[in-house]
Amino acid sequence: MDMDSKSKVFSYRGSMYLLLLLLIVSLIGGFIIYRYSLLSHYKETNTVDEVIFYGIIGVATATMAISLTLAIRLNRNLKSLKRAAKAMEDGASIDSMPEFASDELGDLSRHIIDLYGRLREASNDVEREHNRALHEQQEKLRIKRQLTNNINHELKTPVAAIQGYLETMTRSKDMSAEERDTFIAKCYAHCQRLTQLLNDVSTITRLEDGSSCIARQSVNLRVIIDEIASDVALLPDDRRMRVNITLPETMNVDGNSTLLMSIFKNLTDNAIAYSGGRDIFIKLASEDESFYTLTFADNGIGIDPEHIGHIFERFYRIDAGRSRKLGGTGLGLSIVKNAVLFHGGDISVCNRKVGLEFTLTLPKAKNLF
């Protein structure tokens, strides 16, 4: 909306200079006529006097006309500026502001409107940022309340079972040694589930509240995955899966070894418990200067598409009864996602023709040499 003031046909400053010039000419002309009249008042009025007199009248008339034009133009611009101020007060958009003439006052008015527009945009940005921060804070509080409620719910089942078994053993004095050993074994299994649940909750809390305190260093990811594969090979036949690894021998990642272990340990445990397959495939899909992209897949039954978008949620279970029976806490895949995000990577999941496939990215260790 800015215009070059030198190119304006009409300007208040030029008009004021013109009026001042006309006023000076009128005063000088009037002074000359007055002096001339004093010297020749006894003589007949000549033609020169009449010309000068009417010239002064003409100048005065022109001055009045220009003054009237300026006053009308100034009043119109002031009314437009007043309407703009009222619109600003009401919070109107900049597009609804009135038009102004192409003069100094119009330029000043447009400049004020431009400043108003920038101030309004800055205010909207601040308000959006505030709302976003408030939403994030409320979301964190909601998630923490949900986590607390879910933990309480998850704790009740094993605690109640342990209490029931112990009460039965205490009251049944004639219980056989075999029954007692069975009850003790069940109590131990529930204690293990409680321990795993507390460990998982601790990991989640550590990732969210103290991620800046978690140490990171160069870690050879192949060593971690080989260790997990060795553990799987020692499992009983009904739980054992073949782990097929297609990775380079040295694959240095910038991260935390404990959390990297948690990522692949939880993915492996999830495949063993729920996939129904016999093979796990871990391979390097691609890499660039900064990240490795890996895939973790099985040849099991996969999951229904309706569950795909929820499996990383805390305590989300496709089959709650089966999950508890197998000792799952419902936090494994949530830990996986949070650990990947902690490392600055990303993770997604999809069904294959046979089985389920996770795709994740992890940052390469920086070469310090």
> For 123-179, what is each residue's pLDDT tens digit?
788 888 888 888 877 766 776 676 666 666 667 767 888 888 888 888 887 888 888
pLDDT over 90 at 69, yes or no: no
Q: What is the 3-state secondary structure (H, E, C) of the chain?
A: CCCCHHHCCCCHHHHHHHHHHHHHHHHHHHHHHHHHHHHCCCCCCCHHHHHHHHHHHHHHHHHHHHHHHHHHHHHHHHHHHHHHHHHHHCCCCHHHCCCCCCCHHHHHHHHHHHHHHHHHHHHHHHHHHHHHHHHHHHHHHHHHHHHHHHHHHHHHHHHHHHHHHHHHHHHCCCCCHHHHHHHHHHHHHHHHHHHHHHHHHHHHHHHHHCHHHCCCEEEEHHHHHHHHHHHHHCCCCCCCCEEEEECCCCCEEEECHHHHHHHHHHHHHHHHHHHCCCEEEEEEEEECCCEEEEEEEECCCCCCHHHHCCCCCCCCCCCHHHHHHCCCCCCHHHHHHHHHHHCCCCEEEEECCCCEEEEEEEEECCCCC
- Residue range 214-369 forms a domain whose CATH class is alpha beta
Of residues 321 and 188, which shows the higher confidence score?
A: 188
pLDDT at 42: 45
pLDDT band at 4 (very low <50, low <70, confident <90, very high): very low
Q: What is the pTM of this model?
A: 0.54
pLDDT at 316: 74
> For 230-258, what is each residue's pLDDT tens digit?
989 888 888 889 999 999 999 999 988 88
Domain range list for the chain: 5-102, 134-213, 214-369
> For 74-101, what is each residue's pLDDT tens digit?
767 777 777 777 777 777 766 666 666 6
214-369 matches 134-213 in CATH topology: no
Of residues 292 and 162, which shows the higher confidence score?
A: 292
pLDDT over 90 at 362, yes or no: yes
CATH of domain 134-213: 1.10.287.130
Q: Hey, which of 115-129, 139-153, 172-186, 267-281 has the most confident mean pLDDT? A: 267-281
